[in-house]
């Protein structure tokens, strides 16, 4: 299954890239893996753990012999980084990424890699509020959904290769166009992220006695708000139109519940909670 990959280069060994190296090393021990990191200490950490066969701070050197490159950087850094290494990438090498926004990223990277049309966007849906190699784990991708976002420019054999890559680490592949992905990601991830941060701020800006009441519900509802603010403002910036639209949808719904409470239309509140309870069960059951 892993025969035609040659070596796989992971660019950026954080939570996503580090977990990818671990999963590939664990499941496909004969694959040659190479790694680029921005800092020497991060590179040393990967190499000391035996997660790659070759590593360098020079991206061109890392990608030159790779049959597949996976860009595991914050979304706002992808374009500049890709430009810095495009000339070193072999014509037959697949380039993909793990960015949480696809419209802007795919448009930028398809342009950077237009010579061979070898870029296909990916978004494995398994990030968390944690970051860095210390949070990485070999089973991060197992059972996760990975969205591929091919466009009319994508070459089928590269799309197939990208699908195989994620299946090799246990993910389920779904295909979606970049714009649809960004609408969906806004609703399932970016808007909930903003809501979680806002819920924390409601409590965080109150006096201390309120905080003492925070319990399991608060903890889970706001978990994602502990993620890197820089990483997430980058994501929201690149998907700001869909995120703002989704926030508008959320605000409308919350305002209708607020009015129902104010006007004592409690059946409406019950109906919404019942519907949400049923929908959540449907959504999670379908994912199993």
Residues of this chain, 153-212, that bind its own copies according to CB under 8 A: 174, 176, 180-181, 183-185, 187-189, 191-206, 208-212
Among 24, 59, 126, 131, binds its own copies (CB under 8 A): 126
- Rounded to 10 degrees, the C-alpha dihedral 95/98/101/104 comes to -20
Among 96, 122, 149, 222, binds its own copies (CB under 8 A): 222
Per rule CB under 8 A, is residue 1 in the interface with its own copies? no
Kindly state the smallest distance separating residue 148's Cβ from its own copies, in Å.
12
Kindly state the smallest distance separating residue 274's Cβ from its own copies, in Å.
4
Per rule CB under 8 A, is residue 247 in the interface with its own copies? yes
Among 16, 106, 147, 168, binds its own copies (CB under 8 A): 147
Among 1, 91, 152, 219, binds its own copies (CB under 8 A): 219
Between 57 and 210, CB nearer to its own copies: 210
Kindly state the smallest distance separating residue 124's Cβ from its own copies, in Å.
9
The 3-class SS string of the chain reads CCHHHEEEEEECCCHHHHHHHHHHHHHCCCCEEEEECCCHHHHHHHHHCCCCCEEECCHHHHHCCEEEEEECCCHHHHHHHHHHHHHHCCCCCEEEECCCCCHHHHHHHHHHCCCCCCECEEEECCCCCCCCHHHCCCCCCCCCEEEEECCCCCCHHHHHHHHHHHHHCCCEEEECCHHHHHHHHHHHHHHHHHHHHHHHHHHHCCCHHHHCCCCHHHHHHCHHHHCCHHHHHHHHHHCHHHHHHHHHHHHHHHHHHHHHHHCCCHHHHHHHHHHHHHHHHHHHHHHC
Per rule CB under 8 A, is residue 230 in the interface with its own copies? yes
- Strands 145-149 and 121-124: what pairing? antiparallel
Among 37, 125, 131, 163, binds its own copies (CB under 8 A): 125
**Smallest Cα–Cα separation from 158: which of 124, 125, 113?**
113
Residues 138 and 26: beta-carbon distance below 8 Å = yes
Between 117 and 151, CB nearer to its own copies: 151
Interface region with its own copies, contact rule CB under 8 A, candidates 42-50, 89-97, 102-110, 259-267:
259-267
Among 53, 80, 84, 266, binds its own copies (CB under 8 A): 266
| Site size toward its own copies, by CB under 8 A | 94
Site residues for its own copies, 24-53, by CB under 8 A, read none
Per rule CB under 8 A, is residue 277 in the interface with its own copies? yes
Site residues for its own copies, 53-72, by CB under 8 A, read none
Instruction: Dig out the tokens for 86 from the structure.
Output: 């495009």
Number of neighbours of residue 106 by Cβ within 10 angstroms: 27
Per rule CB under 8 A, is residue 216 in the interface with its own copies? yes
Kindly state the smallest distance separating residue 155's Cβ from its own copies, in Å.
23
Kindly state the smallest distance separating residue 221's Cβ from its own copies, in Å.
4
Kindly state the smallest distance separating residue 171's Cβ from its own copies, in Å.
11
Kindly state the smallest distance separating residue 131's Cβ from its own copies, in Å.
11
């Amino acid at each position: 299954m892993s025969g035609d990959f040659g070596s796989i280069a992971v660019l950026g060994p954080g939570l996503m890239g580090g977990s990818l190296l671990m999963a590939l090393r664990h499941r496909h021990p004969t694959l040659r893996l190479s790694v680029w990191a921005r800092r020497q200490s991060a590179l040393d950490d990967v190499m000391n753990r035996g997660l790659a066969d070759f590593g360098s701070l020079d991206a061109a050197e890392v990608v030159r012999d790779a049959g597949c490159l996976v860009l595991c950087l914050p979304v706002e850094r992808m374009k500049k980084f890709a430009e810095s290494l495009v000339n070193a990438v072999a014509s037959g090498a697949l380039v993909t990424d793990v960015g949480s926004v696809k419209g802007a990223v795919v448009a930028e990277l398809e342009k950077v890699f237009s010579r061979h049309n070898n870029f296909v966007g990916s978004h494995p849906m398994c990030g968390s509020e944690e970051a860095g190699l210390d949070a990485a784990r070999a089973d991060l991708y197992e059972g996760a959904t990975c969205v591929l976002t091919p466009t009319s420019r994508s070459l089928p054999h590269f799309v197939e290769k990208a699908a195989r890559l994620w299946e090799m680490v246990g993910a389920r592949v779904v295909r979606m166009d970049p714009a649809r992905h960004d609408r969906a990601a806004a609703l399932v991830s970016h808007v909930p992220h903003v809501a979680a941060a806002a819920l924390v701020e409601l409590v965080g800006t109150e006096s201390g006695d309120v905080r003492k009441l925070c319990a399991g519900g608060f903890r889970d509802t706001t978990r994602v708000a502990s993620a890197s603010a820089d990483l997430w403002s980058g994501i929201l910036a690149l998907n700001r139109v869909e995120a703002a639209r989704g926030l508008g949808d959320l605000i409308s719904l919350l305002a209708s519940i607020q009015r129902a409470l104010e006007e004592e239309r409690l059946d409406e509140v019950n109906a919404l909670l019942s519907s949400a309870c049923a929908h959540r069960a449907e959504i999670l059951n379908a994912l199993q």
